[in-house]
Amino acid sequence: MPQPLPPLADILSTARVVALPMATRFRGVDVREALLFEGPEGWAEFSPFPEYGDVEASVWLAAAIDYAWHPQPAAVRDRIPVNATVPAVAATEVAAVLARFDGCRTAKVKVAERGQSLTDDVARVRAVRELLGPAGRIRVDANAGWNVDEAEHAIRMLEPFDLEYVEQPCASVPELAVVRLRIRNLDVQIAADESVRKASDPLAVARAEAADILIVKAQPLGGVRRALEIVADAGLPAVVSSALDTSVGLAMGTALAAALPDLDYDCGLGTSSLFTADVAAPALAPSGGSLPVGRVTPDAALLDELAAPAERAAWWRDRVARCHELL
C-alpha cells in the first residue's frame, strides 16, 4: 500500500542546496549539486542530474522521501566493501586517483569517453592493473559508449588485464545480448546499469539474458525497497552503486547494500573520494576498503560553506515542487 506523501512545505522547510567541487572532472561534471532535506527518519538527498526531465527526476524524489520519512529494510551486514572509481584520466594520473580510495582492492575504470580513443582506455586500464597488482580486481564502465562491434573489439583488447566485468558496453538490451553472446569464450561478464535504472521495464535485461550482473542505484530506482524488489525478481547478482551522491545519498546506498541477501561484489559507493569537500564531517569515504552502514547527518557549517548560489538553490527548489506534483 503506498505511503502518504508528505506536504511539499514539509520537504522545503529543511531543504538545503549544496555544490560540491570535484577533485577530477567526472561524467562531464566539475561541481556536483544536490538538494538535501530532513524527515522524521533523518536526512535524505535529491540529486538527479540537471539534464534529466521531471518524470525521471520524480522517481529520485520518491526515493528520497521514502528514506527521510520511513524506516528502511533490516540490514544483514554492517560494512560494505567498495571499489575505487577511476575517471577517464590520463594513465599518468591514475596513481593519484587510486590514492584517494583507502584500502580499495577493486577499481572501476571509465572507458569509451567521448573524444578519447581505445588506446587511451588500454593505457588507463594497464596503469590500474600495474598499481593494483595481480590480486586486484578491475571492472570497466563504458556508459553505453560503444556499438556492438566496437564493444566486442574493446573487450577483447582489455580482456588481458583480467576484467571482472564490463558495465553497460552498449545502449540497448538487444545490443547487450549480442555482445554477451559474442564474448562467451572470454571470462568476462556483462553488467547492466542504464538498461536497469533508465528503463521503463528494469527486468527486461534479465529476461533477455543480456547481462550477468545488475548495477542498482537507490535514488534512480525509487528507493531501497523498490531496488530490492528488482534484484529479487531479476534473479541476478547485484552491485550497488552511487549516482555521484553526497555522503547523505551514499548512506542510502549502504542501506540498500546492507539489506541485500547476497553481496558478492564490491560496491560503487566510495565516490565521495572524488570530491574535494563533502557535507559530512568526516565524509562517508572508504576506510580499509569499506564503508560503515548507517544514516549520515550533514554538518551545519559545511552546509553553509558548500551552499549553492541563490539562483541554483531556487532552481532546485522549483524542481522539487514540479516533481512533488507528479508524485
Cβ(157)–Cβ(151) below 8 Å: no
Question: Quick one: cell of 27?
Answer: 561524467
Report residue 304 CA to chain centroid gap.
26
> Which is catalytic among the residues 100, 139, 197, 217?
217
- Is 110 a known active-site residue? yes
Amino acid (one-letter) located at 125: V
SS3 of residue 45 by DSSP: strand
- How many residues make up the chain in this entry? 327
**141 is known to lie in a ligand binding site:** yes
**167 is known to lie in a ligand binding site:** yes
Cβ(231)–Cβ(30) below 8 Å: no
**93 is known to lie in a ligand binding site:** no
> Which is catalytic among the residues 16, 100, 108, 110?
110
Cβ(222)–Cβ(67) below 8 Å: no
End-to-end CA distance of the chain: 15
Kindly calculate the radius of gyration of the chain based on its CA atoms and give it in whole angstroms.
Answer: 19
Cβ(147)–Cβ(112) below 8 Å: no
Strand 29-39 relative to strand 16-26, pairing:
antiparallel
Q: Count CB neighbours of 86 within 10 A.
A: 27
The annotation places the binding site at 141, 167, 193
Catalytic residues: 110, 217
The annotation places the binding site for Mg(2+) at 141, 167, 193
